[in-house]
Amino acid sequence: MQPKYTEIAKDEPIPMGLTEKVIEGEVFVIRGCLQRLGVFDEIAATSIAGIRDAAGAEVVGKIKREGFDAIHRFASLDQIETATDKIYEHACDKAPDWVSKIAPGLLGITEPYFFERGPNIRFHVPYDIMASNVEAMDRFASKSGGGKLAPHPNHRDSWVGCPDNLINIWAAVGPIPEGNGLTLFPDAFTRDVARVGASIAFDENPGEPLNFNLEPGDTIVFHGEHVHSSVLNRTDGTRHAVSFRIVKEKPHFPNTHYHRYAHSSLAGGPLDFFAELPANLAWSYVETRLGGAAKKLGLKKEEPQRQNRSHASQDKKPLGGKRTFSLSSLPENSLHAITDEVCVARIGKDKIAAFDRKCPHGGGDLALGVILDGEITCPWHNLRFDPKTGASACQTLKRVRMYDINVEGDDVTVSLDNPHAPAASG
């Protein structure tokens, strides 16, 4: 699979007209971007200040030696949660200055623009550590949104109360390998993608994933309407990233209007109190606030939503018996559902695997996934499974339940009577 993005090396100039290209759907990776713009050191120092507030000088000293990706080794989950909030508080004050360098230096925008008042501060701890404290993960996600401590499901930014005309600048503060980063699905950019609430629908295929390896300061620049999600952290390091959302023209909120967008000519100065007023002079803002007040008063009930099959039982057994199909009908490196509960993968020319469709992490439909580096890859959080054992790199997750296969010539028969019982990967 060829990358569907343009990579700009550290010694290459940032291309002219980048904003227009991003608005049209192109994706860029700018190496050493934050250093080029002169904001990396201050962003990193702001993170250090927030960690000091939350965990003390001793932890800060260890992180300075070992790196942000080692924070989970020295700070508790509660301290990392508090550090995220503290860094956010510091970053909100500094955001107008940072964005005043990012907008012209990266996007070539010099005229007034809008930006999200607070940058998104993201620590994404290894899943096996987070799994030991699911309550903390869920609590923080409900308070501060997904993608912070815990993975974010496949979504568009407009589904979570943001404008549909924003540019997302997603930057690494610490090293972020592909197994703990951001996934984009560029094939879905121009499609009408079905969703349930703020997440992609279970039976919606987002297409081929686009993953990245980032060094500190590297930045992904993409349109917020690209479907994107967090990679479930299968590494031994914590992801530390910061993201900015910038709108060249007035923000347009097609759904809810929760996030605060400031006008660049007013933010950070004596008129800062009025900086959000231009974006809020819209019916979307009034409607969202009135709707929220009505719910609190019990005057408006939640509208029933289509149920997402991801919440179905992970232990439901498929119907027994056998299923037979022709090997030639399944293209190489592809997946195919053979029942409501079971799918098969053809890996390369001759390797066939049959397994449960539901990912043991969040219930994503593996039949809509892809084969990457010979492994079955979930379409929701890029979690990969060994096609022989059903195991993933996350030791606390159950293995995917596998089924026996018999191949005779072009005929492939899957036995559904005796699935191999899943167990923890370790």
Q: For the segment 334-390, what is each residue's pLDDT rounded down to a tens digit?
A: 999 999 999 999 999 889 999 999 999 989 999 999 999 999 999 999 999 999 999
User: What H or E segment, with its residue span, contains residue 166?
Assistant: none
| pLDDT the model gives residue 300 | 54
List, for residues 250-297, the tens digit of each pLDDT value. Answer: 999 999 998 999 999 999 999 999 999 999 998 888 888 887 665 665
The dihedral through the CA atoms of 216, 62, 122, 392 has a sign that is: positive
Tell me which of 3.30.1330, 2.60.40, 3.50.50, 2.60.120 is the CATH number of domain 6-296: 2.60.120
Residue for token pair 């179905």: 312
Chain region(s) in the chain for CATH 2.60.120: 6-296
pLDDT, average across residues 184-188: 95
| pLDDT the model gives residue 312 | 39
| pLDDT the model gives residue 308 | 47
Collapsing DSSP to helix, strand or coil, 300 comes out as: coil
Cα distances (angstroms) measured from residue 26 to each of 5, 19, 148, 213, 215: 7, 9, 26, 18, 21
Give residues with Cβ within 8 angstroms of 239, minimum separation 6: 69, 122, 123, 124, 174, 176, 180, 181, 233
| pLDDT the model gives residue 307 | 45
pLDDT band at residue 424 under the 50/70/90 scheme: low
List, for residues 87-134, the tens digit of each pLDDT value. Answer: 999 999 999 999 999 999 999 998 899 999 999 999 999 999 988 777
pLDDT band at residue 301 under the 50/70/90 scheme: low
pLDDT, average across residues 54-80: 96
Chain region(s) in the chain for CATH 2.102.10.10: 310-420
Cross-strand bridge partners of residue 83: none
User: Residue 86 phi/psi, 5° resolution?
Assistant: -65, -45
Q: Identify the burial level of 168 via C-beta atoms within 10 angstroms of its C-beta, where 0-12 means exposed, 13-18 middle and 19 or more buried.
A: buried
pLDDT at 304 > cutoff 60: no
Cross-strand bridge partners of residue 344: 336, 354
Q: Tell me the angle at which helices 57-66 and 40-55 cross, rounded to the nearest 10 degrees.
A: 140
| pLDDT the model gives residue 42 | 98
pLDDT band at residue 306 under the 50/70/90 scheme: very low
Q: Which of 319, 312, 323, 290 is nearest to 415 (CA)?
A: 323
User: Residue 412 phi/psi, 5° resolution?
Assistant: -115, 125
Q: Where are the beta strands (DSSP E) in 191-264?
A: 195-196, 199-200, 219-223, 227-230, 239-247, 261-263
In CATH, 310-420 is 3.30.420.40: no
List, for residues 26-65, the tens digit of each pLDDT value. Answer: 999 999 999 999 999 999 999 999 999 999 999 999 999 9
- Please, what is the average pLDDT of the chain? 90
Give residues with Cβ within 8 angstroms of 113, minimum separation 6: 103, 246, 247, 248, 249, 264
